[in-house]
Homo-oligomer: A and B are copies of this chain.
Amino acid sequence: MPELRRDPIVGRWVVIATERAQRPSEFPHVPPATRPDGVCPFCPGHEDKTPREVYASGRPNGAPANTPGWKVRVVPNRFPALKIEGDLDRRAEGIYDRMNGIGAHEVVIETADHARTLEAQSPAEIAEVLLAFKARILDLRNDQRFRYILLFKNHGASAGASLEHAHSQLIALPIVPRRVMSEIEGARRHHELKERCIYCDIVGQERKDRARLVHENDDFVVLAPWAPRSPFETWIVPRRHESIFEAEPRERLASCAQALGTTLRRLSAALGNPPYNFMVHTNPLREAPSASYHWHIEVMPALTQVAGFEWGSGAHINPVPPEDAAEFLRKVSG
């Protein structure tokens, strides 16, 4: 059983996921990009190579599950960091805290086409992926053990992707992770002081200044944040105040898909198909809509390394001002 352990000083949780590695000598542990027999488990016709699906879209009504014909398919991760069965069982060990590694770890297969990246897809196709994200949150949030669901994508081996076929992931956690808490608390402090949402303030200032604005449509702005952790970090932020990703209706998710698609295509054109990660940050599960927090997507091209300075300080050194990155991204084709 995996385990969640809390650092006693800074409160950071770590998932000790022993079943993801066999022995200390097997590092770095990277699952093979394709199975030894060369079969991609995410391709249509290989539905039996994955755990049984928990969601699929695109099949005709009445078609059986775990058969071809899907457009987006969600399956449990074969190498889950957390396990779905069991109780949390929070307990102490001397001064330390631990709990069972309860959670869900799912893979969102973004397309049936092995060679088609997310950024190559049409807005309507990307919207199907976002609708799958939403559907999985709406299902998993009924599980009272979970307090947060992190949606993320690793694209490219050096950004952590272990399989080539386009996919993203979600991990449902029994805690609210500290990076999200730190955004929520920062936004709450701003709201206490100003009675405004800081993300709404950012959207307002960036739409006026234009220097860090990459793109906007009716519902979303794409911007280079003021203090980016890595070159070409890019945020996709709803223009309208909304704290809960899964509360967005289908038409605004279609708008988000347009913004996400153009962002990924611009980054790809600017940087030559870079490895990247994106993460969806939203309100903790089952909480009331927040006046101070604002959901958004953070896209991080994996161009720089986390090394001693970053590990030791939590600060970052970024050689590209966001104004230069935004100007570059505005000019390339999206």
Contacts and interface: CB of A to CB of B under 8 A. Distances in A.
A8 B202 contact: yes
Contacts of A300: 311
B95 A198 contact: yes
Most B CB contacts (10 A, CB to CB) among A13, A183, A226 go to A226
A229 B14 contact: yes
A64 interface: no
Interface string A301-313: 0111111110111
A160 B95 contact: no
Contacts of A95: 198, 201-202, 205
A315 to B, nearest CB: 5
Contact of A226 (B11, B15, B96, B315): B96
Contacts of A265: none
Nearest to A187: B9
Contact of A153 (B154, B304, B308, B315): B308
A81 B317 contact: yes
Contacts of A6: 227
A305 B158 contact: yes
A316 interface: yes
B209 A17 contact: no
A94 B228 contact: no
Interface string A1-44: 00101111111111111111100110111000000000000000
Given A312-B281, A314-B177, A7 B201 contact: no
A238 interface: no
A4 to B, nearest CB: 9
Interface of chain A: mostly helix, strand, loop or mixed: mixed
A182 interface: yes
Nearest to A28: B303
B307 A277 contact: yes
Interface in A55-97: 81, 94-96
Given A16-B321, A315-B15, A171 B309 contact: yes
A202 B16 CA distance: 19
A264 interface: no
Interface in A89-119: 94-96
The 6 closest A-B pairs by CB, nearest first: A160-B307, A152-B308, A279-B312, A179-B314, A177-B313, A21-B319
Given A3-B321, A11-B186, 9 more contacts: A7-B225, A8-B226, A28-B303, A152-B307, A158-B305, A160-B306, A173-B313, A173-B315, A229-B311
